[in-house]
Every structure is written in structure tokens, then in C-alpha cells.
Amino acid sequence: MSGRTIELVLAGAMAGTVFVTITAGTLVAQSRKDLHFNVGVRSGISVNNPYGSISVKPSLNNTVMINAMLSSDKVEIDSSQNGNRVEIQSHLLPGATAENGRVDYEVLIPADASITLHSNTGSLHAEKLHGDVTLEGASATVDIRDITSAHVHVKTLNGPVTLTNVQDGHVEVDSLSGEVTLNRVTGPLVQVISTSGPINYTGDFGDSGDYRLTSHSGDIEATVPETTSADVTASSVRGEVHDDIPLQPKAHTSFIVRQGSAFVGTMGRAAVSSTVVLRSFSGKIHLRKRTSK
């Protein structure tokens, strides 16, 4: 049977479905477990998954529906509900590894619910929600999109982070070395702190927000339209700083502006504008003008 894979499906076992896969003479039991919870408005859901992916999308009613695919019998699912709070935990059993302890979750929650996700290795995905979103991972890929009027908090070590179409949110991203990409992200506070990873922002900085992009050694690039209104401060101690958009200079600054290492000025003429601070110790900073295609 070398090189061949045979999959058997046994329904009804373990309150779910068991998938038995035989690969090169090795018997591996995969199982699927479905969980359902009824909750009220503004509920809270947390999923803690050491190994594997978590994907969250909105449900059509006040129901939390969880589909979990377990890679083997070395991991099980612990679940609990306390009022409006639902907690899901992947429970590793003796002998579990990153391979046989993997669980992949597909989660449907009410759009106004708050969600907390944790995974060391699997991808984390959340979309079309307007409750608070907290995602934590080590090397996990983080993808957040179409979130409105919510607090978004992301903490990761070296996994890439992408936020797309996050509007009117309080956004905080903390990364060690992963690349952080923000596309059309606006809100009262948008803050990214990275040790060595690059930060890329594409958007218009909103109307009256506070935007702070900071990296110790990673490059920072912000691409904005000419119609953007913002007070911009950019500085790098050892890196280069470039500005493709003419800024109206300020008469007074809090530090000495040196050509090529810092710039300070105002974009646009709107009565209400955002405050933008771009800072790096040794990385390059580039403020680009977005061109229409």
C-alpha cells in the first residue's frame, strides 16, 4: 500500500464524523465535531487552539456554530458556556505533536459578538464582524477584513498580519518580526508597533484619527491619495526618510528636522485632519502618493 491513501468515513461516532485515513500502511483517525450554542446580544467567544487554523464569520442569528476537524485521537475539544460567554479549548493528550494535535476550526458567531482567538501555528481569519476582535499567535498568519466600529487587537511574533477594510475601529497591532499590511484601515486610533518587521499602509488616514506606525529596524511605507488631510511627522535615526507628497511646513516642531532623516508638515486643507506619526530607528520611511490607474 506504499504511496496510496484510502479514506473511510464512519458516521455517528464521537457525536460527529470519523475519517479514517490509511497512508503508506499507517492508520490515522481524523474526526469532525460540531458544537452549537445559543447566546444573547454582545456575547463573548474565545477559541484557544495550540495547533491549527481558526476562521470566524458571522452567523444569521444569535447562535454560535463551531465545526472542528481533529487530526487524530491525540487531541480533544473542551467546551463550556457561562451565560453569554462561550469558551472552546483544544485539549492536547499525552503524545500529541504539532501534527497529530492539530485542530482546524470554522466558527460562525453573531456579528456583534466579541471574539478572542489564539493559535501558535495555524492561520487566524475574521471577517464581517462589528464586535471586538482579539487575535494572538506565534507564527500564525493573521487576516482580518471587513470589520466596522470595533476594537481590533493583534499580537504575533513572526507571522504576517493583514488588515483590510477595517473602518471606524480602534486598531492595535504588536508584532516582533512579521510583516504588517494595512489596506483601507481607519479609526480614532490605528497603532502598529514592530521590532524588525516592515509596515505597509495604504489608505487615506481617515478624518480625525491618531495613526502611529513604529518599527525599530523594519521599513515603513505609507501610500495615500493627494486628497488626504493629515499632520505628518516622520523620523528615522539611522534610516532614510523620503516624501513624494509636498507638505506644508510647520513653523514649530518638537525636534530638529534634518534633511533625509525626518520631515514634518501638513497634507490637505480640511478643517479636521488626522495626526500621523511614522518612526523607525534604522529602517527606511517612505510617504508615497497613490496614483490612479
- Specify the pLDDT at position 240: 92
Separation between Cα atoms, residue 123 and residue 242, nearest integer Å:
34
Separation between Cα atoms, residue 237 and residue 216, nearest integer Å:
10
- Specify the pLDDT at position 1: 40
pLDDT tens for each residue of the chain, 293 residues long: 444 444 445 444 334 555 554 444 444 568 999 999 999 999 999 999 999 999 999 999 999 999 999 999 999 999 999 999 999 999 999 999 999 999 999 999 999 999 999 999 999 999 999 999 999 999 989 999 999 999 999 999 999 999 999 999 999 999 999 999 999 999 999 999 999 999 999 999 988 899 999 999 999 999 999 888 899 999 998 999 998 888 887 665 665 666 677 888 888 876 668 999 999 999 999 999 887 65
- Specify the pLDDT at position 25: 45
Domain boundaries, the chain: 160-293
Separation between Cα atoms, residue 273 and residue 45, nearest integer Å:
36
Phi-psi bin for 28: left (phi > 0), alpha (psi -120 to 50), beta? beta
- Specify the pLDDT at position 3: 46
- Specify the pLDDT at position 114: 97
Which residues does 133 contact at the CB level (< 8 Å), separation at least 6? 114, 115, 126, 144, 147, 150, 151, 152, 153
In sequence order, the β-bridge partners of residue 6 are 22
- Specify the pLDDT at position 222: 97
- Specify the pLDDT at position 206: 87
